[in-house]
Chain A
Amino acid sequence: SQTIHQWPATLVQPVGSPLSLECTVEGTSNPNLYWYRQAAGRGLQLLFYSVGIGQISSEVPQNLSASRPQDRQFILSSKKLLLSDSGFYLCAWTRDRGFGYTFGSGTRLTVV
């Protein structure tokens, strides 16, 4: 069966510090991968998605970036965090369009 791992679960970072969140999927190959952010009491905002190694599509302009160095690894990064980057970051995968997404357990990021 397929599983998605996301870490760390919680993170407190000072403003201006770098960020690296990692997501890996097991039990499948060539998944479609997604990074979402959910602000407190808000809906899901799609940040990035990837349909293959090295392929990244950005949905919103911001100081975040994403990379996919391996087939089942998706990384979300920032060089300098802003207070507004605080939120619940979720990685998700699907095998193809129409199958629904499976979410990881999420990373709760607080920028102080």
Chain B
Amino acid sequence: QKEVEQNSGPLSVPEGAIASLNCTYSDRGSQSFFWYRQYSGKSPELIMSIYSNGDKEDGRFTAQLNKASQYVSLLIRDSQPSDSATYLCAAQGGKLIFGQGTELSVKP
């Protein structure tokens, strides 16, 4: 069964630190990768997409992809309390497969 694995957390970081969220996927045919942010009680919001090996930066967010290692990560620089949420990793080969999510807590 095709899977996406994430550390469940919670991951706690101090305000201003770098938060590192990791994800592995089992389907080598996956071509598209996404990070979603889900605040408690709300629906997931797409924050990053990445399709090629390497880094992709958008503001304080950097997504990293290594297809050989089947590994995706999300770095959040200068973490803010408003970044506290659950972050879902998703990989798409045929269907879009979601991980269980990592809960991030940014402490002031």
Q: Are B88 and A104 in contact (CB under 8 A)?
A: no
Complex: chain B residue closest to A46, CB-CB: B95
A100 on the interface (CB 8 Å rule)?
yes
**Interface presence of A66 (CB below 8 A):** no
User: Which of B49-104 touch A at CB < 8 Å?
Assistant: 49, 51, 88, 90, 92, 95-96, 98-101
| Given A43-B98, A43-B100, A100-B42 contact (CB < 8 Å) | no
Residues in chain B near residue A106, CB distance under 8 A: 42-43
Residue contact A100 to B88, C-beta cutoff 8 Å: no
B44 within 8 Å of A by Cβ? yes
B25 within 8 A of A: no
Q: Which residues of A contact B34 (CB under 8 A)?
A: 100-101
With A42-B100, A43-B100 already in contact, the answer to whether A98 and B46 are too (CB < 8 A) is no
- Chain B residue numbers with a CB within 8 Å of A90 are 43-44
Does B20 interact with chain A (Cβ within 8 Å)?
no
